[in-house]
Amino acid sequence: MKKWSIYSITILSLLTLTSCEAVGTIFKAGMWWGIFLVGIIIVILFLIFSKGKNS
């Protein structure tokens, strides 16, 4: 019975989502995650260089 529910959810999601929508959603999430990581790296580099100038 559990197999049927997993198969039905998979088939339902495949029929309701087109491939373009799925790829678009993945890239939107990836873009925001990348912006977040770049922001963190910039802040870390700024903190490292500002501490180096004060010493």
Query: What tens digit of pLDDT does each residue of 1-55 get?
Result: 556 677 777 777 777 766 677 677 777 778 888 889 999 999 999 998 888 776 5
CA 50-53-55 angle, 5° bins: 115
The pTM assigned to this predicted structure is 0.48
* CA atoms of 13 and 34, how far apart (whole Å): 27
Secondary structure of the chain as H, E, C letters? CHHHHHHHHHHHHHHHCCHHHHHHHHHHHHHHHHHHHHHHHHHHHHHHHHHHHHC
